[in-house]
Structure 1
Amino acid sequence: MNIFNWIKYEIKACLRSAAISKKWPEKLPFERITVEPPRDASNGDIATNAAMILAKPIGIDPYDIYLPLAEGLKKLESVKSVEIVEPGFINIRLLSGVWLAQVSKILEFGQNFGSSRMGAGRKVNVEYVSANPTGPLHAAHARGAVFGDALASLLEKAGFQVVREYYVNDVGSQIDKMAHSVYFRYLEALNANSNIPECDYPGEYLKDLGKALVMREGDNLINALEQEWLEPVRTFAVELIMTNIMKDLLTMGIHMDRFSSERAIVKKNVISRALAKLEEAGLVYRGVLTPPKGKCPDDWEPRPQLLFRSTKFGDDVDRPLQKPDGSWTYFSNDIAYHMDKVERGYMDMIDVFGADHGGYVNRIKAAVSAITAGQGNLDVKLCQIVHMLDGGKPVRMSKRSGNFVTLSEVLDTVGPDVLRFIMLTRRNDQTLEFDYRQVSEQSRNNPVFYVQYAHARACSVIRNAKEIFVAEDLSDFALSQAEINLLTDHNELKLSKLLASWPRVVESAASSHEPHRVAFYLANVAAAFHELWSKGRENARLRFILKNEREITMARIALVRATATVIASGLKIIGVTPMDELRG
């Protein structure tokens, strides 16, 4: 049960009743009313902006809205008090039994507690990673990979039908340059050419690709013309690099539902259908672009081009849809790719891009709006860069990659659980520092350890309870029947409120497409649990297990078990394994 949704329903019911009796305007912005925890917990359990939202359209003071609302809410058995604070927020306190009752619900539903029907089975396409198949994944790719995968799991928890998709950019000049580099390494492996040019893609992995090509082709391509070897080398290299990328993703626990090829999209000629939609919207025209700002290239010349009116959406210039040779630009292919998603039935799409795509967002969103006649929804999430550190010092470049730290090296060092959790300890649009030394510490400064330790500590408490109360049924069902209202300490109530808010966290994080909220929430739950455990060390009466007091012990064990369940549920969304015990 989402307590916040329930209170919101009751607030709207009270206000609609007041609107009728007091003859307020018929159309009021009820959809703008928010119900959430107050910033300062001392102000109450729930805060709403209802009075401020409705005061202006009605033309009355917020206090005159508070009075009928408070009168209606106070009739609810679960409401303890209602008060208004400047400039018009209404704070609501519920009886402690409302929050404690959710502990029993958690034990009843297990990790299904917090699952929502908000998505109502609506299909959502989440595209993430989508690194060009020109080399191994690097550490920065990990952020987009973790963010996208956690977001997909979060949306599934909220009731959406999700497909996880990787877009393989397997055409274009970058792929051709990579194929040339592999061919030169092929010649090098055969000692067939002593004048190897400087490769566009340095690093040990290119030598590996060259050797692998020798294993497949022998010396068959030594004397071949470029038009003969380019296509097979390009195809071979892309397939092998994608195989290694998929291995890294699987090591991280990421399983893609679909890999879509840009080359296949181009061959299907989806762009023609997409362009027809853009033309209908008046977003395509043939024109001449002005010279690039700054130093103009020597080969630049004004020429008529097929252009997209991206300036209409905040871009600094309109963008070409075709190259001088008549082939489509990357932007055109990307429009076609989104058209392909739409034709597969995905009107709701989320793209996870790197920070360098910031200038690309408005134009692709505008194109999607045009090809769907405004019915499609595209949200683009940008993931900022990751600074790799070791004890505060930048980590050196990787010999294997040549110019970056590979994802596989990070995974070998810290493992997937640490990597996944740390990548969600900042908002996606904020720069993140990943410090090897800090993430290896077993301390409160290491958030993944702190959360996993809370789960392990909870499991330890339950194991101890089983040893002491040997004849007692400590199953989740039995614990759900405990006298939970015996929990009266402030810290016990604080923890129960946090646990009860899990359904709200799921829905709010899913609505905003912000999976980092789950990591933040888990850190708060872990802190509250560790604090309660510490109180037991200071005051023997607050210990979880009191050998001679069965009822209070069962109630506290129920709270501990509920804590472990919610933490495990949250870690599942992030893709991190909950530990039953931690060893140094």
Structure 2
Amino acid sequence: MTETASASALPLFADFAGVIDRALDALVATGSLPAGLARSGVTCEPPREASHGDISTNAAMVLAKPAGTNPRALAALLVEELGREPRVVSAEIAGPGFINLRLADSAWLGELGLIAASAGDYGRSAMGGGSMVNVEYVSANPTGPMHMGHCRGAVVGDALASLLEFAGHRVTREYYVNDAGAQVDVLACSVHLRYREALGEDVGAVPEGLYPGDYLVPVGQALATEFGDKYAKAPEADWLVLFRGRAVAAMMDMIRDDLATLGIHHDLFSSEAELQASGKVDAAEAWLRAHDLVYDGVLEAPKGKTPEDWEPVELPLFRSTKFGDDQDRPIKKSNGAWTYFGADLAYHFQKAQAADALVDIWGADHAGTVKRIKAAVAALTSAESGAPKPFEVKLVQMVQLMKGGQPFKMSKRAGNFVTLADVVEMVGKDVVRFTMLARKPDAQMDFDFDKVVEASKDNPVFYVQYAHARIRSTLRKAAAEGLAPSGEHVALLGAEEIALVRLAAQFPRVVESAAAAREPHRVAFFLYDLAAGFHAYWNVGNDRPDKRFIVAQDAALTSARLFLASQIGQVVKNGLAILGVEAAEEL
């Protein structure tokens, strides 16, 4: 093995998971451990305290009881086996039976070689096994341009889709177009007003209840050009369906353009109106009735209502209490129209036919409906296959726009809200995307226009971008001096440099854990920590020339440190790519 070549094509922690597994196989072969024990709970991860070593495993703790032995006794046998691995400097038992391993520097230097060889694929995983995950996100009502209320969910959903693909899943990015509700009739009426205005009529102020934004003016003008005054004084029934279809199509074109400014493109746009018109909602109801999951019943009176002011009505109810909900839910209204829940139920039934798992990204204001829709999906999928398909709903909190610490309001064309396109124009796509992922999505967030472009450690997007830009600048400077990165002399790297490799080597683990948890913000957190480690090392060189990446009169050490910098930059670039953020060449 050369100094820069990994002992395995696997990232270090995955490689050592195999080392631990083979050590357990050796104990089985000698009769020290029974064959056939489930090892799914065995971990290979960094110790909680860095001073305890490089790798920790709970193998003895997990397997001792089913093996009928004492954890520390099993750990002692496992330590002896693990000590035979050439890259293990020491193997120690901790506490009731954990095992901590310390690795030789060559193990970490080998990881540098793996990063270099893997390049843009470093951290890519096969854990998904090619399974299909449907990620539905944004799904804003098609009544106007995207606003900042939609932005966070859009970014979280898009980054999650990329993360799942990087972790070995196939992904469908889906947008559910809510074009069957009362809001699209209001949209059509708003467009009709603009249509009459385009024909020269003085329509005055936009009436209360209609959409006031100027973004509807071009839609009205296009209709006036196409139809003249044909529908100016016509009854609503003559133009409502036509205007509704044209208005929704125009709004969806606008929404696609707005999302494109953030680098977001969906694979599939599913129409609620088409779903209902196709009869699939009726078919879902029939299927549910056939499986005794829908029945006709009467809901209890709402809290605070008395028999005098409430009239019981028989409705088709879904048995959601069977799946953990607190009451059964109606799928139709008393007038026969579908409830939002009924339409959503059919929509998810349709999605589940083409996916192995489902993820919905919703605003936190929809938290009250999570339990019932999860119950519905569990019912629909388990009735067919015997086990429910994995389905998660990720809630995203709203974003408070600020400027200089004060609430910020801005509207060029929307009427009463801040558009996503305006914000991207002000600060840029990368700033918006990274900032939206710099906190857990279920935590409140302030988006301060001044702070998100601030050149400081307190601004995560700048801090991470600056790390990559510094690396690229250093490599360009070295090239100008005839110096290049090389893995030939990496053995010259010391403890401080290897500490950086230890940080970078966590990336494959972060990818897998973030994908499993459906939490792309973990990648952003990792990148900030890696950038912090890089900047800390860089700052040492400000006072000590011998610690700089380019060291005068020491070409071998310089080539090794440039190789290190190049691989740290590669990991930063790979992580940013998952988040949909460009790796800055200079700042």
Q: Normalized against structure 1, the TM-score is what?
A: 0.92
Conserved? CA contact 2:272–2:343, under 8 Å: yes
2:366 match: 357
Q: Matched residue of 1:83: which SS?
A: strand
| 1:517 paired to 2:522 | yes
Separation in 1, partners of 2:288, 2:79: 52
Structural mapping, 1:541-560, within 5 Å: 541-560=546-565
1:452 alignment partner, one of 455, 465, 468? 465
| 1:580 paired to 2:585 | yes
Structural mapping, 1:110-125, within 5 Å: 110-125=119-134
Separation in 2, partners of 1:391, 1:84: 53
| 1:379 paired to 2:392 | yes
Structural mapping, 1:173-572, within 5 Å: 173-188=182-197, 190-191=200-201, 193=203, 197-206=207-216, 209-294=219-304, 300-343=310-353, 345-373=354-382, 374-396=387-409, 398=411, 400-469=413-482, 474=484, 479=485, 481-488=487-494, 490-572=495-577
Conserved? CA contact 1:29–1:53, under 8 Å: no
Separation in 2, partners of 1:324, 1:226: 25
Instruction: Give, in angstroms, the shift of residue 375 of structure 1.
Output: 4.9
More moved, 369-378 vs 92-101 = 369-378
Conserved? CA contact 1:37–1:46, under 8 Å: yes
The C-alpha deviation readout for 1:52-80, integer Å capped at 9, x for no partner, is 33344445443123211211111111112
Instruction: Give, in angstroms, the shift of residue 406 of structure 1.
Output: 1.7
- Structure 2 residue identity aligned to 1:264: E
More moved, 281-290 vs 8-17 = 8-17
Separation in 1, partners of 2:163, 2:504: 17
1:138 match: 147
Q: Matched residue of 2:553: which SS?
A: coil
The C-alpha deviation readout for 1:485-508, integer Å capped at 9, x for no partner, is 2111x2201111122222222222
- Structure 2 residue identity aligned to 1:426: R
Conserved? CA contact 1:104–1:558, under 8 Å: no
Instruction: Report the CA distance shift for 1:89/1:400 in structure 2 as closer, same or farther (over 3 A).
Output: farther
1:89 match: 98
Instruction: Give, in angstroms, the shift of residue 131 of structure 1.
Output: 0.6
Instruction: Give, in angstroms, the shift of residue 427 of structure 1.
Output: 1.4
Conserved? CA contact 1:105–1:480, under 8 Å: no
Instruction: Report the CA distance shift for 1:292/1:211 in structure 2 as closer, same or farther (over 3 A).
Output: farther
The C-alpha deviation readout for 1:336-375, integer Å capped at 9, x for no partner, is 22222233x2122211111122222232222223222325
Number of residue equivalences: 573
Separation in 2, partners of 1:216, 1:556: 67
Structure 1: 5+ residue stretches without partners? none
| 1:30 paired to 2:25 | no
Separation in 2, partners of 1:17, 1:272: 59
The C-alpha deviation readout for 1:161-189, integer Å capped at 9, x for no partner, is 21211111110122222323333344455
The C-alpha deviation readout for 1:246-284, integer Å capped at 9, x for no partner, is 111111111111111111111222224433443354321
Conserved? CA contact 2:377–2:388, under 8 Å: no
Instruction: Report the CA distance shift for 1:34/1:222 in structure 2 as closer, same or farther (over 3 A).
Output: same
- Structure 2 residue identity aligned to 1:542: K
- Structure 1 residue identity aligned to 2:489: E
Separation in 1, partners of 2:206, 2:158: 41
- Structure 1 residue identity aligned to 2:395: L
1:54 match: 63
- Structure 2 residue identity aligned to 1:138: H
The C-alpha deviation readout for 1:218-242, integer Å capped at 9, x for no partner, is 3322211111121112112111111
Conserved? CA contact 1:205–1:400, under 8 Å: yes
Separation in 2, partners of 1:171, 1:11: 56
- Structure 1 residue identity aligned to 2:493: L
1:74 match: 83
Instruction: Give, in angstroms, the shift of residue 12 of structure 1.
Output: 3.1
Structural mapping, 1:92-103, within 5 Å: 92-103=101-112
Separation in 2, partners of 1:170, 1:196: 22
- Structure 2 residue identity aligned to 1:130: S
Instruction: Report the CA distance shift for 1:76/1:261 in structure 2 as closer, same or farther (over 3 A).
Output: same
Instruction: Give, in angstroms, the shift of residue 332 of structure 1.
Output: 2.0
Instruction: Give, in angstroms, the shift of residue 531 of structure 1.
Output: 1.3
Structure 2: 5+ residue stretches without partners? 1-9
Instruction: Report the CA distance shift for 1:480/1:309 in structure 2 as closer, same or farther (over 3 A).
Output: farther
Q: Matched residue of 1:14: which SS?
A: helix
More moved, 82-91 vs 567-576 = 82-91
RMSD (Å), alpha carbons: 2.4
Instruction: Report the CA distance shift for 1:195/1:393 in structure 2 as closer, same or farther (over 3 A).
Output: closer
Q: Matched residue of 2:269: which SS?
A: strand
Separation in 2, partners of 1:95, 1:491: 14
Q: Matched residue of 1:30: which SS?
A: coil
Instruction: Give, in angstroms, the shift of residue 91 of structure 1.
Output: 2.0
Instruction: Report the CA distance shift for 1:194/1:492 in structure 2 as closer, same or farther (over 3 A).
Output: closer
1:6 alignment partner, one of 8, 15, 27? 15
Separation in 2, partners of 1:118, 1:286: 44
- Structure 2 residue identity aligned to 1:509: A
- Structure 2 residue identity aligned to 1:532: Y
Instruction: Give, in angstroms, the shift of residue 397 of structure 1.
Output: 5.9
Conserved? CA contact 2:131–2:356, under 8 Å: no
Q: State, as a whole percentage, how many aligned pairs show the same letter.
A: 49
Greater RCO, 1 or 2 (C-alpha within 8 Å, sep 6+): 1
Separation in 2, partners of 1:140, 1:557: 43
Conserved? CA contact 1:203–1:399, under 8 Å: no
Q: Matched residue of 1:35: which SS?
A: coil
| 1:15 paired to 2:24 | yes
- Structure 1 residue identity aligned to 2:408: V
Q: Matched residue of 1:84: which SS?
A: strand
Instruction: Give, in angstroms, the shift of residue 441 of structure 1.
Output: 0.5
Conserved? CA contact 1:107–1:480, under 8 Å: no
Instruction: Report the CA distance shift for 1:237/1:63 in structure 2 as closer, same or farther (over 3 A).
Output: same
Instruction: Give, in angstroms, the shift of residue 153 of structure 1.
Output: 1.0
Conserved? CA contact 2:487–2:559, under 8 Å: no
Separation in 2, partners of 1:41, 1:568: 26
